Structure 1
Amino acid sequence: MLILHLSDIHFRRSEVSTAQDPNYHLRNELLRDAEAQCRELGAPDVVLVSGDIAFAGQIEEFSFATEWLKELCDRCGCPLTAVFVVPGNHDVVRAKADSPIVQSMHLAIKTAAHPRDEITRLFLDDEGPRLLLDSLGNYNNFALQFFCDLYAPNRTIAKRGIQLNDGSILRLWGLNTALVSSSKDKEAELFVDSSCFQIPNEAGVVNLVMAHHPFNWLREGPALEDHLNDVAAVQIFGHTHTNRVNLNRDYVRFSASAANPERHEAGWEPGYNLIKLEVSTAPTRVLKIEGHIRVWQTSPGKFIPKQDRSSPVYRHDIQIGAWAGQSNQKKTVEANVVQTSTEPELPQMAAEQEFELRELALKFYRLSFSQKSAIAGSLGLFEDSDVSLPDVERFRRVFIRAHERGKLKELAAAIQNHK
């Protein structure tokens, strides 16, 4: 399995698609380098983006990101459905996060004796989820096309499963560390909700956890670090714009360079990662990890491998325990699904079906709001209970109900007619 990992792309509305874009050349060289690397290593099975996709959470920035990620995937030989994302602080619309009512909720969390309990209380309030996540509305609309959108209280982690070479599952967990992000962000003053502390160990599953902010930016960072070190063999972070690889007995941690760091910041070092995973089963099950860390050099300008001593590849093995599964079992995947008994669920499905659903989501994303609404209404996929929900959550349920009611073909035909 090959993972292409990017972070902190920072598409800025005032720059992208203009002649004054200061990062056009850098992004072009990244595309060229990733294309060349994937010719050697193979097409990526998943493309991870660990936050700060936009610069100010604007719709146009996310639209540009979609088109750029499509070009990246095309060049690397994988479909756009391979993309998996989490939000960062730059994906937040700060005008909404800085509003008095939202700031009062942030303050309640920050001053609570038990912040996780306070987050849960607000998540269970009738208006709490909408208010707390409103600043991520544009991000969620973008993330829905990859089924990585978030909504409280029951889908606060993006989740996906991909089959490894021995038939076991690499389970991706995308954490939201931007829950209380605003213009008032300070180190050690951000939070995650309780579900992040409940990621389980399971037989036949290797956990990969991705978050934008590293542990030092979280109030409960040490506690979360302890938990993830116990359950997640692969850990991926962004935000710091500094490349680090931490090889531990039980996990490997990648802290990413920024794909588009600010040019005037100290230690300017654009980069991205290619991470290769393989399970070896003899004599014991071992997760074999190769990290191909690509960093920018100047004069001449190009991406080169970051060295692990004298090697251009970081190699590490982790014991992952026995598993009785068969390598020839039917390939299945897990979508990021609604997880409550009161809402329809999207069950585990064959990889081919899951791919078709993700392709459909990408096409749906490109339609206008009125076109989406017309399609959902004509197929009877809206319900009265949806009225109070954010638009992105209503449209997510369109897909879930279409699957549940056997209307995916009708939905596909309706989307095609509106293209």
Structure 2
Amino acid sequence: MIQNMLLLHLSDIHFRAGQIGTAMDPNGHLRSELLRDAQVQCQRIGRAPDAVLVSGDIAFAGAKAEFEYATDWLKTLCGACGTTLGSVFVIPGNHDVVRSVASKPVVQSLHQSIKAAQPIALNGIISGLLSDEDAKSALYEALGPYNTFAGQFFCDLLPPERTRATRDLYFQDGSILRMTGLNSAFVSSASDTPGSLFVDPASFQLERLPGVEHLVLCHHPYSWLGNGKALSDFLHDVARVHLFGHEHTNRILPARDFVSVAAGAAHPDHEEPNWEPGYNLLELEVEGVGTDRYLTVAVHVRVWQANPGQFIAKQDRGADAFQSRIALSPWIKPENTVVAQPAAAESTQADAAAPEEGADPMDSLRDISVRFFRLTVSQRSAIAGKLNLIEDEDANQPDFERSRRVFLRARERNLVEALDREVSAAGQ
């Protein structure tokens, strides 16, 4: 069981094709310093991150090369901090959208039908479009490269049933921290303005369950969402930790029942006023038992200081971390029972049972998955075919969805070890 949970939180990295990996990369030194600081801070705290959370804008223009570079850099970051690439959990931002696709007339027409909807009809219109084969394909086409990237972490999105990503971590008392990533970029394009974006109705379906505490990631803050007020009211009731990106300014709002963190950008534009790159580390722990339980949250905000150049702690009244203590509902893990799991269509869990040792049963699959996605499409197809993990129904699915189904079938058919051996052999 996790005693003191540690989460590394990044946002707005903006890997930009034409700059990344070149001698003229304006952020090369900054990334190197972030790696160095994150490694030092994890060593100081005394543990590796249990998850590396990226709240959108991984890429700059949604390009395949940008996501490929992101995978390599995140692997280096994870290694420096003592964890694996499989710990990464991502959501999309507006820069992860391919703008040339989002600007197509048919896509813009769909966007306008959502933006023009009256509040009482909004959820019905979004649900209808995300359930229609042609409309959902058009709305999500611009996220194609993102989904290929996110698929290796089982964070890919496919409407209508999988419009949010979900993963569980386990506290020391057996209770769950359920991480849910929302998609606020499916109506994003070059014409984004505050209030013009939306989350879909599934974002309002987090359940308050015994022994489950929610952490939610959404790239866009409430002010950028046309249904932001409704989302704010809902999340304030059900989620203990809220993480946002997009605005490049770090802010922390501690409330009685939740902590909200607006992240700074790992790579803000150098011409932005008050340029302040940063990232966050969050320590979470459940204290007490039964009727006397609390969630303690310590947010370490690391910001770049110039002259001398280094990452330093943003302080709260002289302290190097922002501390919150939130009262939790009474709960004791019942013997021989399980903690409730997410809905099957969205879950990245292996089955309905919580694992005995408090580990996510998809951990081993993610470690295989990140290696599987490093292979060529032909290598992946050959492995899936050899193990009979491809079905006729997969023919019209995007590549990331076919890969997901390969892993789900391998798990269902007790072929995970065989899949691991084939991936390892192909990667040599």
TM-score by length of 1: 0.95
Deviation per residue, 1:316-370 (Å, 9 max, x gap): 10001100216x9899997996359xxx994246337422211110111101112
How far apart in 2 are the matches of 1:83 and 1:335? 19
Tell me, yes or no, if structure 1 residue 414 matches structure 2 residue 422: yes
Q: Which of 72, 75, 79 is the equivalent residue of 2:80? A: 75
Deviation per residue, 1:175-222 (Å, 9 max, x gap): 000011111111100011101011111111110000100000000100
Query: Which residue matches 1:321?
Result: 329
How far apart in 1 are the matches of 2:338 and 2:24? 47
Query: Which residue matches 1:376?
Result: 384
Instruction: Summarize the alignment of residues 86-101 of structure 1 with structure 2, pairs less than 5 Å apart.
Output: 86-101=91-106
How far apart in 2 are the matches of 1:247 and 1:269? 22
CA contact (8 A) 1:162 1:334 kept: no
Q: Specify every segment of 5 or more residues in structure 1 that has no aligned partner in the other structure, as ranges.
A: none
Provide the secondary structure at the position in 2 that maps to 1:367. coil
352 and 273 in structure 1: CA distance in 2 versus 1, 3 angstrom threshold: closer
Tell me, yes or no, if structure 1 residue 136 matches structure 2 residue 143: yes
Q: Displacement of 1:108 after TM fit?
A: 1.4
CA contact (8 A) 1:147 1:335 kept: no
Provide the secondary structure at the position in 2 that maps to 1:233. strand
CA contact (8 A) 2:179 2:214 kept: yes
Provide the secondary structure at the position in 2 that maps to 1:44. coil
Query: Which residue matches 1:231?
Result: 238
Provide the secondary structure at the position in 1 that maps to 2:414. coil
Report the residue type matching 1:311 in the other structure.
A
Query: Which residue matches 2:59?
Result: 54
Comparing 115-124 with 358-367, greater Cα deviation is found at: 115-124
348 and 366 in structure 1: CA distance in 2 versus 1, 3 angstrom threshold: farther
Tell me, yes or no, if structure 1 residue 30 matches structure 2 residue 25: no
Report the residue type matching 1:298 in the other structure.
A
Deviation per residue, 1:62-100 (Å, 9 max, x gap): 111111111111111111111111000000111111111
Tell me, yes or no, if structure 1 residue 3 matches structure 2 residue 7: yes
CA contact (8 A) 1:147 1:336 kept: no
Provide the secondary structure at the position in 1 that maps to 2:133. coil
Provide the secondary structure at the position in 2 that maps to 1:141. helix
Query: Which residue matches 2:114?
Result: 109
Tell me, yes or no, if structure 1 residue 64 matches structure 2 residue 72: no
93 and 329 in structure 1: CA distance in 2 versus 1, 3 angstrom threshold: farther
Q: Which of 20, 23, 27 is the equivalent residue of 1:16? A: 20
Tell me, yes or no, if structure 1 residue 39 matches structure 2 residue 46: no
How far apart in 2 are the matches of 1:333 and 1:374? 37
Q: Displacement of 1:268 after TM fit?
A: 0.6
Q: Which of 203, 211, 223 is the equivalent residue of 1:204? A: 211
CA contact (8 A) 1:162 1:332 kept: no
Provide the secondary structure at the position in 2 that maps to 1:121. helix
Q: Displacement of 1:417 after TM fit?
A: 2.6
Report the residue type matching 1:39 in the other structure.
Q
RMSD over aligned Cα atoms: 2.1
Provide the secondary structure at the position in 2 that maps to 1:257. coil
Q: Give the fraction of aligned pairs with identical amino acids, expressed as a percent.
A: 49
TM-score by length of 2: 0.93
CA contact (8 A) 1:52 1:90 kept: yes
Query: Which residue matches 2:182?
Result: 175
Query: Which residue matches 1:390?
Result: 398
Q: Which of 367, 375, 380 is the equivalent residue of 1:367? A: 375
Tell me, yes or no, if structure 1 residue 292 matches structure 2 residue 300: yes
Q: Specify every segment of 5 or more residues in structure 2 that has no aligned partner in the other structure, as ranges.
A: none
333 and 382 in structure 1: CA distance in 2 versus 1, 3 angstrom threshold: farther
How far apart in 2 are the matches of 1:371 and 1:229? 46
Q: Displacement of 1:130 after TM fit?
A: 1.9
Provide the secondary structure at the position in 2 that maps to 1:127. helix
Instruction: Summarize the alignment of residues 183-262 of structure 1 with structure 2, pairs less than 5 Å apart.
Output: 183-262=190-269
Say how many residue pairs are matched: 415
